[in-house]
Amino acid sequence: MNTKGQSTIEFVLTLAAFAVIFFSMADMMKVGYNWLALQYSSNRGIRSAKMMPTQMDGEEKATKIRDEIIEEAGKIGLTLTVSDIEVDVIETQITVDASKAITLNPVSGLIAALGGDHSGVYNLRSREVIRNAEL
């Protein structure tokens, strides 16, 4: 039996397994952080609506809420655009729907493809609802 180079082969296989685990964990941390940042900025934006005058019309209030969410997200490193945020202001409630697509790295994308997801993109969503009434 010839064992020449066996330790090199074992090292390469072990290193590959650890690399896959490391990159997958890094992606999951990225997804988790971005999800928390999206939740936080949506919450801060909709809570700012409570401080706005009640006589403000719905579209103006929606624009201010959207701007607040984008500003809060930028403070913590999340890039959102106006098209990522939908604000619905009606008589009794305010609803904010925010979404962000996170692209996985190629290693995690390969693992996701093996699991049946062939997009390599993780879609995050946040929904906040608050009563539209004075404090």
Query: pLDDT tens, 29-57?
Result: 998 999 999 999 999 998 888 888 777 78
Residue 95 clears pLDDT 80, i.e. is over it: yes
Q: Is 102 helix (H, G, I), strand (E, B) or coil?
A: strand
Predicted confidence at residue 21, as pLDDT, reads 87
Note the pLDDT of residue 135: 57
Residue 107 has pLDDT above 90, yes or no: no
Parse the chain into domains and list their residue ranges.
Answer: 6-131
State the average pLDDT for the chain: 86
Cα–Cα distance measured from residue 18 to residue 4, given in angstroms and rounded to the nearest whole number:
24
Q: Is the pLDDT reported for residue 117 higher than 90? A: no
pLDDT of residue 92: 83
pLDDT at position 2 is: 64
